[in-house]
Amino acid sequence: MSPVLSGVLQLLALIAALALSYRPLGDYMARVYSSEKHLRAEKLIYRTIGADPDAGMRWPAYLRGILAFSAVGVLFLYLLQRIQGILPDSLSLGFTAISPDQAFNTAASFVANTNWQSYSGEQAMGHAVQTLGLAVQNFVSAAVGMAVAVALVRGFARSRTGELGNFWADLVRGTVRILIPLSVIGAIVLVACGAIQNFSGIHEIGRLTGGTQQVNGGAVASQEVIKELGTNGGGYFNANSAHPFENPNAFSNLFEIFLILVIPFALTRTFGKLVGNVRQGYAILAAMGVIWLGFTALMMWTEYAHHGPALQAAGGAMEGKEQRFGVGASAIFATTTTLTSTGAVDSFHSSFTGLGGGLTLLSMMLGEIAPGGVGSGLYGMLVMAIIAVFIAGLMVGRTPEYLGKKIGTREIKLAACYILITPTLVLGFTALSMALSSPPESILNVKGNSVDGSGAHGFSEVLYAFTSGANNNGSAFAGLNANTPWYNTTIGLAMLLGRFLPMVFVLALAGSLAEQTPVPETAGTLRTEKPLFAGLLVGAILIITGLTYFPALALGPMAEGLS
Amino acid sequence: MNNSVRSTARLVGAGLRALLVLTVVCGVIYPLVVTGIAQAAFHGKANGSEVTVDGKSVGSERLGQSYNLPGKKDKDGNPLPDPKYFQPRPSAAGPNAENTQYKLIVSGASNLAADSKTLLDAVKQRRADVAAFNHADPSAVPVDALTASASGLDPDISPAYARLQAKRVAEANGLPAATVEKLVEDHVDGRVLGFMGEERVNVLKLNVALRELAGAGGKR
């Protein structure tokens, strides 16, 4: 079997698995978020929080809940890292406290569902920080994203009310009923493949030629599974999902890709169920699926073709890739992780072909909506759908409507603000970093190291860092030394603003939609469940992103890929 | 004003209690349950798939290790590969810089770009070195021998790279070439379920088997 055929078969197997899980999981999640019953464990949790799970919240209250919960999360995680030095060795593994700027960066990163890591996992974080801090945020930051998506969907589904549901109930249900059960199953599968799961700490094992080597123990499988399922991406080890203890074989690799995609895709079914028309969900799914499949096919093509002087000399694009995965599966992982807000890697994007690296960048620049992060993918895509409906309305000269709700001045302003946030953060911080004198010193692939002497790849390293941060991805062109006060602070800010500012606009939008009286469907209503609309949506996404980022992409990956 | 301060405090209090209770659920109960099941059902794998020979640990099946001549260095101070063993892929995992308390195995990639001159030179150098070391034609050296892996701990090499090394390994161990070539073929792992990933040879398992063979032949 040729490597290309193997790659295509793996892609088909993945699609089949996603298709099989789409309806059951999507319907289940719809029931979770619309159920009136509370589990006994949940009642206990609500009593501890001191919240009434049945109290409806208007959008400002919902937002305040998210901000309070997330702010406490940042502070807790920051303090946990700062006190690591005084924890007992069994909890800290003997590692010292994390520096203030790096601790801020890491705390912001995990709470914002980004999981950008300027530290090296096996050399910095002990059991306490990994398991009590980072893994917990993997769960709850994902549950927050899903809660916001569900709140927006309720905005479409409800009328003449401002209430979007209860944040505490959505947070707890997402965690307890969706993420934890799937994680337990997934973690066992990963251990069966060979991922480690223990608390034995750093210990010595032998070597064949004599002597010993020291390896980390840790609760790796349990953290690995939620890192993918919650589209977080922060690895236990420096090499992330390329590390054999995190991702032991080709099956676990494909399984991890499946875990990344399963919730974001299935949420379109949940959306369809909750708005009472599953075909509306299929249209959104189609737009997501077309982009994901198109990017994956392009990525596989460019990686198999291995353009670039060094890769041509080697005879294949295997730099920064593992033998057990090969080129094809690594390419699928790379597009999946960057089109969602995951950022886990099973191969290192910096050593991809120029065009392949550019594709990972472009994937994130689309706003991570195809299918996107858990929750954030759906609400990002629905905001784009509103823009697409608006464009279509302009073409035919009608007041645009979506799902029976008028898209008026207020709605379009909120949607426009949403899509302007990340480009502003990405391009602003990248420009600042290139203009100032010391930040560029962190670049690995500098001018002079590059064969053509252009330094295009070096620019891409910085552009990638802020694109990854502001879009809450977390993957990196890891040549960049990002553990400096400048990058720790600016990327930390980009992650927080890139996560929570859009949520403000999404929830305001949801509130405004929920207050409306639905407009009856007429012959002139745009049929948003039809393929034509899905096509329009894909076009709108590509054009808006293209126009926003083309100049920056031309300076970086396109200059490298075409030279 | 006073009112809004009080309601903010109440909200932050709720947030803190929510975080703490979810920390207990997701950060204590969940990992302990998974660890319990994993340790009971998959004890060896959950603890790192250690390989033992005659009761002595020789490493982890999952992690690559180096097979160098003890105490010998080339003129640049790099260790020299031991011709008696199959050699793994190049590794770009960095030195253990951040914490000097342990001699930890560190993972990582080179992150060098496809148009990097450093990488281009490294590939050319490796091609020449691997060809000379194995008395092979430079054009026969496969790609995995020329590129650093993603983890820096890749436990596998391609069957092509293992076959390329077979003759040299056989000579160094005083074994017939055909015996070592057969050993390599016996250690080729196919794609998972026939189509996932790539064919590969686990270097540690191959070297363990090789040493048994060489020991049995009385050549060591």
Cα of B122 to nearest chain A Cα, Å: 9
Nearest to B117 among A245, A329, A449 (CB): A449
pLDDT at B33 over 90: yes
Interface test with A, best of B196, B212, B213 (most A CBs within 10 A): B196
pLDDT at residue A450 in the model: 58
Half-sphere exposure of B196 (CA within 13 A, CB side): 13
- Which residue of A lies nearest to B96 if distances are taken between CA atoms? A123
Helix (H, G, I), strand (E, B) or coil at A181: helix
Query: How many angstroms away from the CA of B212 is the closest CA of chain A?
Result: 12
Q: Which helix (H) or strand (E) holds A390?
A: helix A376-396
Q: How many other C-beta atoms lie within 10 A of the C-beta of residue A524?
A: 9
Mean pLDDT over A128-134 rounds to 93
CA distance linking residue A163 with residue A169, whole number of Å: 14
Under a CB-based contact definition with an 8 Å cutoff, are residues B155 and A242 in contact? no
What three-state secondary structure class fits A476?
coil
Supply the pLDDT for residue A86.
Answer: 93
Residue A365's nearest CA partner among A308, A417, A424, A413 is: A424
The average pLDDT across A11-26 equals 98
Beta-carbon contacts of A116 under 8 Å, excluding residues fewer than 6 positions away, are A105, A109, A234, A343, A465, A468, A469, A473, A474, A476, A482, A491, A495
Residues B37 and B140 in one domain: no
Confidence of residue A443 (pLDDT cuts 50, 70, 90): confident
Question: Are B105 and A243 in contact, with CB atoms under 8 Å apart?
Answer: no
φ/ψ (deg, to 5) at A204? -95, 140
The 10s digit of each residue's pLDDT in B13-25 is: 999 999 999 999 9
Query: CB of A220 within 8 A of CB of A197?
Result: yes
Q: Please report which helix (H) or strand (E) contains residue B3, including its range.
A: helix B2-24
End-to-end CA distance of chain B: 85
Same domain, B106 and B40: no
Q: How far from chain centre, in Å, is Cα A530?
A: 28
Q: pLDDT tens-digit profile of A496-545?
A: 999 999 999 999 999 999 999 999 888 888 899 999 999 999 999 999 99
How far apart are alpha carbons A307 and A116 in whole angstroms?
28
Which residue in this structure is represented by tokens 């949520």?
A503
Question: In the block, which residue shows the tokens 């094992």?
Answer: A205
B38 to chain A, closest Cα gap in Å: 7
The one-letter code for the residue type at A474 is G
* B24 plus B111 within the same structural domain: no
**Residues forming a β-bridge with B201:** B157, B188
pLDDT in tens, A379-419: 999 999 999 999 999 988 888 999 999 999 999 999 999 99
Is the Cα dihedral B208, B214, B217, B220 positive or negative? negative
Task: Please name the residue that has the structure tokens 């020329």.
Answer: B146
A326 to chain B, closest Cα gap in Å: 6
Structure tokens at A502: 């859009």
Nearest-neighbour CA in chain B from A250: distance (Å): 5
State the average pLDDT over residues A284-294.
Answer: 97
The answer to whether residue B173 scores a pLDDT higher than 80 is: yes
Burial status of residue B84 (CB atoms within 10 A of its CB: 0-12, 13-18, 19 or more): buried
B205 contacts in A (CB within 8 Å)?
none
The structural domain count of chain B equals: 2
pLDDT at A76 exceeding the cut of 80: yes
Give the pair of three-digit tokens for residue A178. Answer: 């969706």
The pLDDT, as a whole number, for residue A528 is 94
User: Which two structure tokens, joined as six digits, stand for A126?
Assistant: 């002990």
B174, B86: one domain:
yes
Q: Look at residue B179 in the predicted model and tell me its pLDDT.
A: 96
Mean pLDDT, rounded, of chain B: 90
pLDDT digits (tens, 9 = 90+) for A209-221: 988 888 889 999 9
In degrees, rounded to 5, the angle at the alpha carbon of residue A519 between the alpha carbons of residues A516 and A525 is: 135
Residue numbers in B near A459 (CB within 8 A): none
Chosen from A42, A80, A323 to mutate, greatest number of chain B CBs within 10 A: A323
Task: Among A131, A208, A459, A461, pick the best mutation site for testing chain B contact (most B Cβ within 10 A).
Answer: A208
pLDDT at B97 over 50: no
Residue B29: CB atoms within 10 Å: 12
Spatial separation of the C-alpha atoms in residues A260 and A399, rounded to whole Å: 38
- For residue B168, what are the domain limits? 51-216
Residue B219, min C-alpha distance to chain A (Å): 17
Secondary structure of residue B97 in the 3-state scheme: coil
Dihedral sign (CA A149, A155, A157, A162)? positive
* pLDDT bucket at B219, cuts 50 / 70 / 90: very low
Instruction: Give mean pLDDT, residues B61-90.
Output: 89
pLDDT recorded at residue A218: 92
Q: If we measure between CA atoms, which residue out of A438, A414, A431 comes closest to residue A501? A: A414
* Cβ atoms A334, A345 nearer than 8 A: yes
From A186, which residue of chain B is nearest by alpha-carbon distance? B34
Q: What's the average model confidence in pLDDT over A314-336?
A: 97
Same domain, B108 and B26: no
- B36 with B61, same domain: the answer is no
Residue with token string 């997934």: A186
Nearest to B49 among A119, A194, A315 (CB): A194
Contact between A202 and B19 using a beta-carbon 8 Å cutoff: no
Residues of A in contact with B158 (CB under 8 A): 323
Q: Are residues B55 and B11 in the same domain?
A: no
Distances (CA, A) of A204 to A135, A216, B49, B203: 26, 9, 13, 20
Average pLDDT over residues A438-457: 68
Place of tokens 């009136």: A36
Nearest C-alpha neighbor of A230 from the set A259, A210, A201, A200: A259
For A429, the token pair is: 């911080």
DSSP, collapsed to helix, strand or coil, labels residue B72 as strand
Q: Which of A216, A308, A348 sits opposite B150 (nearest CB)?
A: A348
- Residues A235 and A106: their CA atoms lie apart, in Å, by 12
Q: With contact defined as beta carbons under 8 Å apart, do B165 and B67 qualify?
A: no
Return the biggest CA–CA distance within chain B: 89
CA-wise closest residue to B119 among A337, A560, A50? A560
Same structural domain, B81 and B179: yes
Alpha carbon distance A308, A285 (integer Å): 35
Q: Using CA atoms, how far apart are residues B170 and A482, in angstroms rounded to an integer?
A: 46
SS3 A104: helix
- Which pLDDT score is estimated for B99? 40
Which one, of A242, A288, A297, A221, lies nearest residue A261 by Cα? A288
Mean of per-residue pLDDT scores for chain A: 94
Residue B179 shares a structural domain with residue B155: yes
Q: A498 vs A557, which has greater pLDDT?
A: A498
Q: Does B23 share its domain with B69?
A: no
pLDDT of residue A447: 61
Q: Which of B53, B70, B147 sits opposite A314 (nearest CB)?
A: B147
What beta strand segments (E) does chain B contain?
50-53, 56-60, 68-73, 79-81, 156-157, 188-189, 200-202
Alpha-carbon distance B63 to A540, whole Å?
A: 46
Same domain as B170, residue B112: yes
- Bridging pattern class, strands B200-202 and B188-189: antiparallel
Q: Angle CA(A331)–CA(A337)–CA(A340) in degrees, nearest 5?
A: 135
A453: pLDDT strictly greater than 60? no
DSSP-assigned letter for residue B116: B
Extract the tokens encoding B70: 């003890």
Residues B133 and B25 occupy one common structural domain: no
> What pLDDT shows up at residue A478?
78
What is the DSSP secondary structure assignment for residue A451, as one 8-state letter?
T
- Kindly report the nearest CA distance between residue A47 and chain B, in angstroms: 10
CB–CB of A457 and B23 under 8 A?
no
Contact in structure between A360 and A556 (CB atoms under 8 Å): no
Say how many CB pairs under 8 Å bridge A and B: 401
In this prediction, what percent of chain A has a pLDDT beyond 70? 98
pLDDT of residue A115: 93
Sign of CA dihedral B98, B100, B101, B102: positive
**For an interface test with A, which of B58, B66, B147, B210 has the most A Cβ atoms less than 10 Å from its Cβ?**
B147
Vertex B166 angle, CA B164 and B168, to 5°: 95
Contact yes or no for B110 and A319 at CB 8 A: yes
Tell me chain A's radius of gyration from C-alpha atoms.
Answer: 23
According to DSSP, the residues that pair with A213 across neighbouring strands are A205
Task: Confirm if A311 and A290 have CB atoms less than 8 A apart.
Answer: no
| Cα A227 from chain centre | 10
> What is the pTM (predicted TM-score) of this model?
0.96
pLDDT at B101: 45
- In the predicted model, is pLDDT for residue A555 greater than 50? yes
Judge: A217–B16 Cβ closer than 8 Å, yes or no. Answer: no
Q: Is the peptide bond before A53 cis (omega within 30 degrees of 0)?
A: no
pLDDT (mean) for A471-493: 91
Q: Check pLDDT > 60 for residue B213.
A: yes
A404: which 2 tokens?
Answer: 């029976």
Copy the structure tokens of residue A201: 């700490």
DSSP annotation string for A44-58: HHHHHHT--TT---B
B59-73 confidence digits (pLDDT tens):
999 999 989 898 888
Question: Token pair for residue B187?
Answer: 């250690």
Q: Say if residue A155's pLDDT is above 90.
A: yes
* Chain A contact probe: residue of B49, B101, B143, B169 with most A CBs at under 10 A: B143
Each residue of A43-52: pLDDT tens digit? 999 999 999 9
Mean pLDDT on B25-40? 97
Q: Write the pLDDT tens digit of every residue in B100-143.
A: 345 567 888 898 999 889 999 999 999 999 999 999 999 999 99
